[in-house]
Amino acid sequence: MTRTDTARWLATGAAYGGGGVGIAGAALVALLREEARAARRKVEARSHKNDPPSGDGVYGRGRGEPIVLAVLGDSSAVGLGAHRAADTPGVLVAAGLAELAERPVRLVRLAKSGARAADLEVQVDRALSEEPAVAVIMIGANDVTARTPTPVSVGHLTDAVRRLTAAGCEVVVGTCPDLGTIRPIAQPLRTLARRWSRQMAAAQTIAAVEAGGRTVSLGSLLGPAFASDSSMFSVDEFHPSAAGYAAAAAALLPSVADAVGVWPARADRGLRGLRRETVRPVARAAARAANRPGTEVQAAEVGGSGTGPWGPWALLRRRRPTQMPTPEQAEHAGSAAGAPVGG
């Protein structure tokens, strides 16, 4: 990781109000640590001890070899807080993708609760053995809560995206969620958590796009909904509920489908096309995406070049979230193809 990379990510953080606690003084640091310990105790007391069933298997009907979908990352990718496999983001995206592609989709969930970006190396090792056509990565929250330096965390994500794309796998990264919506976190830690998580999301966007992937902003999509609707949380008030995971899957599915060439063009009618105002230098695109719900960012070209005077070009796109299969439909799609989706 170069100094230029680090400087760009730090500048992106400043673009939307990022900051640290270094200037706050010892008293504030002590307060923040106590608030963090109190929030952790509340979450752990209510949290689910076990991951939901993986839902690994084949979804949908149709001819042809199944599209292999790998899901990597942390508890958000696992679906911790959901009780059934059918409520997890991997199963929902797999079932939706099978319907759009009119082909079976084989889901391989490699994500682990508690994972940090450094754990992606092992997950990618396993994913490559499955020869996935597309991978979804959801990571970053644990790096924020552990205060892993952003360049270190994002460096691991960069390596993961590069390894997957080098193997011919499309990559969609659901960026770090907005931790400022977590109810057990008191002020002023909540405000700082929001800044840290958005800084992480913006840095992840830059890294993933430059490494050949694309990103979808989950934090700013789920943040307002979570803040106003308690049903989006599970009982631990930290992880999403089934409704929360459905919202995340609805935002991810269009980008996953587009990455493998099965997103229908008619679904984007009425959206802004590739115009000057939607293409920006990737650092500016990342800062904007961190604050706009469900924004997809991917590499772009201007005048036949992928790079301009301020770095690589990136396209921001706001797709309409698609209607997701209900848990019952997801279970039926899986059982029809013999997938073990119970739980």
pLDDT tens digit sequence for 45-60: 445 557 778 899 999 9
Question: Do the domain assignments include residue 172?
Answer: yes
Question: Do the domain assignments include residue 274?
Answer: no
Q: What is the mean pLDDT of residues 221-249?
A: 58
Query: What is the number of structural domains in the chain?
Result: 1
* pLDDT given for residue 275 in this prediction: 45
Domain that holds residue 86: 48-260+283-336
The span from the CA of 13 to the CA of 199, in Å, is 5
Question: Do the domain assignments include residue 154?
Answer: yes
This prediction has a pTM of 0.80
The mean pLDDT of the chain is 77
How would residue 225 be classed by pLDDT, with cut points 50, 70 and 90?
A: very low
Helix (H) or strand (E) holding 308: strand 307-308
Q: What angle do CA 19, 291, 244 make, to 5 degrees?
A: 110
More confident residue, 88 or 242: 88
Query: Does 198 have pLDDT greater than 70?
Result: yes
Is 332 catalytic? The answer is no
Is 239 catalytic? The answer is yes
Spatial CA neighbour of 328 closest among 77, 50, 84, 78: 84
Question: Do the domain assignments include residue 241?
Answer: yes
Question: Do the domain assignments include residue 79?
Answer: yes
Burial of 188 (0-12, 13-18, 19+ CB in 10 A): middle
Is 236 catalytic? The answer is yes
Of 152-156, 165-169, 313-317, minimum mean pLDDT range: 313-317
More confident residue, 317 or 293: 317
* pLDDT given for residue 181 in this prediction: 61
Percentage of the chain modeled with pLDDT above 70: 65
Question: Do the domain assignments include residue 342?
Answer: no
How would residue 205 be classed by pLDDT, with cut points 50, 70 and 90?
A: very high
Residue among 51, 153, 220, 239 flagged as catalytic: 239
Contact 74, 138 (CB under 8 A): yes
Contact 183, 82 (CB under 8 A): no
Structure tokens at 138: 């959801």
- CATH code, domain carrying 316: 3.40.50.1110
Question: Do the domain assignments include residue 215?
Answer: yes
Question: Do the domain assignments include residue 76?
Answer: yes
Of 135-139, 191-195, 318-322, 323-327, minimum mean pLDDT range: 323-327
Residue among 47, 83, 159, 236 flagged as catalytic: 236
Query: Does 148 have pLDDT greater than 70?
Result: yes
* pLDDT given for residue 182 in this prediction: 58
